[in-house]
Structure 1
Amino acid sequence: MSQRSRISCRLPGRARTAARKQSSSTGSSCSSLSLRADPVATEAAQRASDSIDEDIKKEAARRQAARRREVKGVHGWSFRSSVSEDIGQVILLGQAESGKSTLQKQLQLYYASHTLDAERPSWRIVVYANLIKAVRTVLEELEYEFSLARIEYPWPEHGASPGSGPTDVGAQNEINELRRALLPLISLEGSLSSELSDGIAFVGTRHASLFPPRQALFTRPGTRPLADLHRSHGAVVATNRAAQVLGTTVHVIEALWRHRSVGHLLHLRKLRLDESGTSFLNQVQRISKPDYVPSTDDVLHVRLQTVGVIEHSIKVNIASGVYIWKIYDVSGIYLEEDPLTNRVSDSLQLLTSVCANPLLKNAQMILLLNKTDILRRKLEAGIQIRDYITSYGARANNFSTAAEYFRTHFLAAYKKKDVFGRTLYIHFTSMLDVYATQVILASMEDLIMRRHIAQAGLV
């Protein structure tokens, strides 16, 4: 077959019809035309053929992309379409203790609450471990303050310190008695953390109450699923033992938590417990009951440090179909080089690093500025933002002004570093507030689904 004949036979649709008309008007077949074809016509035909080949390649690529489409997200979603199912990928990035694991639990609660219900018995051991860690931290901080008081005020031989207060001899004797009564409970921390980390137990020091803990309860890749813990013999034994000892020492824990020395440290902000410790100490009576099952609020409050990357899968039923969401919880990194580095500055550096990463150029970026409840409490207590962030200047020291400042600041830093022209969506959150967080999740779901549908060519 001649060059012209080959071309005309490959022309689809209207182009093929036009070729047939041209052929019939000359009274010759495609083959006879090719014998008299001049070089100019042949070159033009070749260009047309090449153009068609390119169109076919593009169409094949489009169809392949339709079968396997990705819309990746950082603190957001990415969808991979296939014939059998749509897979959404959620990558959670942020500082240590920024709320990534809590967000994962909020997603689980919002889209697959039945899976969270199935895990509730297994969360008991984590709650007990967090509570015992909080008790130990309180005792360590008290001992540290008492040692400072002994250095500052050397006591007479008869043992009476000058004056009376939260660090006098009487207070120290009371705390020592409480410590002795709590030793059986504190001794269980190692076995609980060992069960949670597959045989590797880490116990922190007093610095854990002042700075982000370097050593803490953690879960790491390859460990058994949390839902299986209540079926593990070792975990069951450790949990039941902790529940038994907790039931016999609950009144001692309450006495320690209400002690004037502890109140003094809390007032001076020298004792900084994490959110789980404060919450569980306030509710120790409920937690110490024999039939205790962790509530949703308890599950959101627990602190279980992530090491490495943990993958969670959730089946999500949305009006447009069923999706499998794979959530990747990436462990945060503590600022080992300088634990006093401002967290806002560190967050800005992390954001700009992520948005400039070419591996994430197709990612949908959603920035969640978490722990607004803590910011509100600090502002209400009179803490001045400008004392820690000089660029805040003379702005009003209230939440609405601070929120707008942080939004503008992060958005400006993002636009400066992002070279891919993406929109950054910013939300202020408190991951412990179930209702408020789920409103935000619904908003983000709508955003991502709209983009997914648009890229699928449905709108």
Structure 2
Amino acid sequence: MTLHSNHHHLYPLSAMGNCVSSPSKDDNDLLLKKRDARARKRTKSIETKIRADERRRGNEIKILLLGAGGSGKSTVLKVMRLLHHVPFTESEISDYRALMYRNLIEGLHLLLDLCDELEIELDPSILPIAESLSSIPHTPGYEGNDFSPLFPQEVKGDALAIWSDPGLQEVWKRSREVAVPENLPYLMANIDRFWEPDYVPSESDILHARSKTTGISETAFQVRDHKYLFVDVGGQKSERRKWLHCFDGVDAILFVVNLAGYDEVLEEDRDANQTRDALLLFQSIVSNPLFLSKTFLLFLNKTDLFDQKVASGLSPITPTFSDYPSEDEGDVLKARAFFQRKFLRLAKTRDSGVAGPPLIGSRGSNSNGMIYSHFSTAVDKSGMRVIMMAVQEVMVRQLIAEMGLLS
């Protein structure tokens, strides 16, 4: 960005003719006094605002929520709303109802597109249904002034028929190649509920709903004497340029990783591996000079899906990460520890609090901020409750220490 400065040229008054006389010394002194008075007034106003902000910030903890698209960071925010009894509005509930339909149709569309790409054939009897389903819009219809979305009954029947096809199930096993959202099995298992006339999304539905975060949003929670302000920004590559605007006044960074993404591609870049992208992104954030003294909360998320993958033996780690010992394939705990070490090694100059429930870390002797890592499943409300209680304890202790009340 180019900065333009305005140069004010001063000319000798004598050169401007006799129509303007030179100001006297008294006049100059008066002008200087007025200018100084205005400057003091501005300074006092700024100092007053700073003190007020410090008083406000004394009980406010600002946490920046970062992570790649699909990491589950927005789900973390949703479960925190549920844990702290911040209700969803009627408009949000209506949006989530429509979102369940959209997620389901988009997921099936992606699988049908992948059939051609992978040259996997569907049962001939399914082809007319597949063609019909492919032409259905992602957004449900609305009737008159009733803004409750209408779910066509024929769509439900077509979706069930398509999902049960062996060819499509084979495609689903390879869905990581095009980043199909992992909530599709959940949606299909609950499809009957979604089509009920009085359907209202449950807490579980809301946590499983998937939508891209765009722009910047703030959500506040009051926990006893402290206000937690979470700032959520989009994780897709196109959204990351906006992150810089959120860095000011941050107390901690909550970085969320899709642990199950070790064999998956990015939705916006099918040539990029999700976990490798997350490692590069984490390295760029954790080494940023602005954050060297800040606390990092590293959530290795979606451990339920990760554990299933590793234990099944159908998604080995070594093809993507050759440094993973082949003899450890299938060992969930060793696989977890392998990826945890990869992330923590990127913060060599920091102290690391590596923890299981509860989240505990010991502060080192240097001035750099601590890193606390935890394995999480954001859709598991009870498990997230334990984690967030520990996070709150860590952040309050940090706040007290910064105020000089804790050594």
- Normalised by the length of structure 1, the TM-score is 0.61
Report how far residue 143 of structure 1 moved.
Answer: 4.5
| SS of residue matched to 1:328 | strand
The code of the aligned residue for 2:165 comes to H
Q: Is the 8 A contact 2:63 2:228 kept in 1?
A: no
Counterpart position of 1:304: 211
Change (3 A) 1:380 1:69: same
| SS of residue matched to 1:306 | coil
Change (3 A) 1:303 1:409: same
Change (3 A) 1:138 1:351: closer
Report how far residue 116 of structure 1 moved.
Answer: 6.5
Q: Deviations over 1:113-155 (max 9, x none)?
A: 434688323311111211221232233233445xx47xxxxxx
Distance 1:254 1:390 in 2: 39
Report how far residue 280 of structure 1 moved.
Answer: 0.9
1:444 aligns with 2:391: yes
1:275 aligns with 2:182: yes
The code of the aligned residue for 1:80 comes to R
Cα RMSD of the aligned pairs, angstroms, is 3.4
Counterpart position of 1:351: 282
Change (3 A) 1:336 1:109: closer
Q: Deviations over 1:231-264 (max 9, x none)?
A: xx999767533x2x1x343222211111222223
Q: How does 1:27-426 map to 2 (within 5 A)?
A: 68-69=53-54, 80-81=57-58, 86-115=59-88, 119-144=92-117, 148=119, 167=122, 171-172=123-124, 174-179=125-130, 181-182=132-133, 186-189=135-138, 239-241=148-150, 243=151, 245=152, 247-267=153-173, 273-309=180-216, 311-318=217-224, 321-323=225-227, 325-333=229-237, 339-382=270-313, 383-394=315-326, 396-397=328-329, 398-416=331-349, 421-426=368-373
| SS of residue matched to 1:424 | strand
| SS of residue matched to 1:386 | coil
Report how far residue 416 of structure 1 moved.
Answer: 4.6
Q: Deviations over 1:266-298 (max 9, x none)?
A: 356578631222211221111111111111111
| SS of residue matched to 1:331 | coil
| SS of residue matched to 2:388 | helix
Distance 1:65 1:453 in 2: 19
Give the number of the structure whose alpha-carbon radius of gyration is greater: 1
Structure 1 unaligned residues grouped into runs of 5+ = 1-61, 71-78, 150-165, 193-232
Identity %: 24
Report how far residue 106 of structure 1 moved.
Answer: 1.4
Distance 2:144 2:222 in 1: 31
Change (3 A) 1:384 1:315: closer
Distance 2:144 2:384 in 1: 32
Distance 1:441 1:68 in 2: 26
The code of the aligned residue for 1:400 comes to L
Report how far residue 65 of structure 1 moved.
Answer: 7.9
Counterpart position of 2:402: 455
Q: Deviations over 1:24-68 (max 9, x none)?
A: xxxxxxxxxxxxxxxxxxxxxxxxxxxxxxxxxxxxxx9998754
Q: Is the 8 A contact 1:92 1:330 kept in 2?
A: no
Change (3 A) 1:342 1:144: closer
Q: Is the 8 A contact 1:94 1:347 kept in 2?
A: yes
Change (3 A) 1:438 1:182: same
Distance 2:111 2:273 in 1: 25
Distance 2:181 2:228 in 1: 33
Change (3 A) 1:110 1:263: same
Q: Is the 8 A contact 2:179 2:267 kept in 1?
A: no
Distance 1:404 1:362 in 2: 25
- Determine which structure has the larger helix proportion and give its number: 1
| SS of residue matched to 1:108 | helix
Change (3 A) 1:236 1:181: farther
- Normalised by the length of structure 2, the TM-score is 0.68
Structure 2 unaligned residues grouped into runs of 5+ = 1-46, 239-265, 352-365
